[in-house]
Amino acid sequence: MLDGVVSPALRRTAIAAAVLAYPVSWVVRAAWGLPTALGASQRQLRPIVAGSPQFSDGRFHNTLPTPALKPANARDGLLRQWHEERHNGHPGAPVPLARPDIPAEAGELAVTWFGHASALLEVDGHRVLVDPVWGERVSPSPTLGPTRLHPTPMALEDLPPVDAVVISHDHYDHLDLPTVRALLAGSTATFVVPLGIGMHLRGWGVPEGRIAELDWDGSTTVGELTITCTEARHFSGRFFARDTTLWASWVITGPRHRVFFGGDTGYTPAFAAIGARFGPFDLTLLPVGAYNEAWRYIHMDPEEAVRAHGDLGGRVLLPIHWATFNLAFHRWAEPVQRASAAAARSGVRLVVPVPGQRVDVLDPPELADWWSEVGSESDRPADEAGRRGNLTPQG
């Protein structure tokens, strides 16, 4: 280079370097924070989980044989669905939100649903936050994975004080590292989790004194509440290793009221046993979304959720695990359309708040069909349909 003139060879080298730098920088952004987000390793988990009756041969097991995918050519079918139906789970219009109206003192029995499986329970004057996910993306990566289909209804720091944070399992759409860190800094709540997840939390800075780590049938007390870890039919894993931590449903029992939180689960006869032992329940929160024939054993469909509500002896059913992330191939509004039809056939009292809406469970509102007005993107003309988010069939 002479007198500020760049040679052609040097120019080509600079251009090539710039072209190569973009994918490298994208990979760096995608992998940023990945080891921390993945959580505890199998080596770290083994001393904690090895004594569980649910743990053998290096992994946790469901009571019933539970394939994560149908055998034979299920993956071929999923690839075809991915190509043809991956946008079905997007809403056809903006999802309406409510500004949460949460009283300064916790009520007798109320629930505020924030979307997906995240909800704030008020039980006999105590507050329990279940599966809180405030992150924009349910993934270990800041640039890859399913993104939100609607904003969070309120900032996490605006939540009133909570007594306990209950986690069902370690999938990213139920256990969110940024949310855990925010709750660690902004609250004094106890984290009540299934066996193994405590090790994730310890690695993220949660002190031992704020962790209650339970196997199925184990219980802990928070104030006047007894929180019991109960059986679910699912799986776990935050990377390639599967089933290294336990998955669970939860029973929250106060002096006067009882709530069942299903988290994420396939249908199981264990619901009837849980109902006989701990029920009846004033409120059940049961998953109705992310179903597919290929993984029918690990995710309930809406009709199974209504059946499980009956098994549990539930009075009021709140459908969860839908609306917020595109995790399956069904249409966005379909889970609650099917759930409401099944509930009507069975005489089940259903509440379906918009995200952010607080429901007084002792005086539940009449059911108003807001979800059909939103509809599904796949029902709109192609030239009107926007595209957002990604789908993964594993949440």
pLDDT tens-place string over residues 243-252? 999 999 999 9
**What distance in Å separates the CA atoms of residue 275 and residue 231, rounded to the nearest whole number?**
12
b/e map 205-229, b = 16+ CB within 10 Å: ebeeebbbbbbbebeeebeebbbbb
pLDDT at position 15 is 43
Contact 194, 229 (CB under 8 A): yes
What's the pLDDT at 85? 60
User: Which segments in the chain show pLDDT lower than 70?
Assistant: 1-34, 69-86, 381-395
Of 208, 203, 161, residue with least CA distance to 186: 161
- pTM score over 0.85: yes
Q: Residue 392: its pLDDT value, please?
A: 40
* CA distance linking residue 148 with residue 137, whole number of Å: 6
Percentages helix, strand, coil for the chain (3-state, rounded to 5) are: 30, 20, 50
In 3-state terms, what secondary structure has residue 149? coil
* Dihedral-angle region of residue 290 (phi above 0 means left; psi in -120 to 50 means alpha; beta otherwise): left
Q: Indicate the fold that domain 109-379 takes in CATH.
A: Metallo-beta-lactamase; Chain A (3.60.15)
Sheet holding 281-287, edge to edge: 219-222, 225-230, 249-253, 258-261, 281-287, 314-320, 349-350
